[in-house]
Amino acid sequence: MVLILTPLRAAGEEFAFRGYLMQAFGGAFGSRVVAVLLSSLLFALAHGVGRDLPIFVDRFAFGLVAGAPVILTGGLEAGIAMHVLNNFLAFGLALAFTDMSSALNPTGGTWWSLPGTLTQSLVYLALATRVARRMGLATTHTPA
């Protein structure tokens, strides 16, 4: 089930938060920065406002980094792949060492986990951006 549903869920979230909402905020405010910030805030809120602050900050940071490839590569594909890989890693570790409920409903987050997940996301962003540039992908947008 994890192998089938994880990519679908991650893609759906990316279409909603980085596809629809980011474009809507970008169009409304005329700023890519505001669009990424607001969609990331909503992404973090959707992933647990009632949870610990470190987990909320982690999800907000993930949203920020997931928004960057949309702008840098001109599409959702790199963000979807990052989200799928992140979730496969989280669920894989949960299946190997604990249970799925700990991955689906994390509690007891610490600030020490943030550097690891942020490094993972930023390394992926750097690699995806480099590959996109080497492939000659053109990013286009219409200024407001």
pLDDT tens-digit profile of 18-42?
Answer: 999 999 999 999 999 999 999 999 9
Give residues with Cβ within 8 angstroms of 130, minimum separation 6. Answer: none
Write down the pTM of the prediction: 0.83
If you ran DSSP here, which 8-state letter would residue 4 be given? H
pLDDT tens-digit profile of 109-121?
Answer: 778 888 988 999 9
Q: What is the full per-residue pLDDT of the chain (144 aa) written as tens digits?
A: 778 888 999 999 999 999 999 999 999 999 999 999 999 999 999 987 666 888 889 899 999 999 999 988 888 999 999 999 988 888 877 777 776 665 566 666 778 888 988 999 999 999 999 998 898 877 665 665
If you ran DSSP here, which 8-state letter would residue 136 be given? T
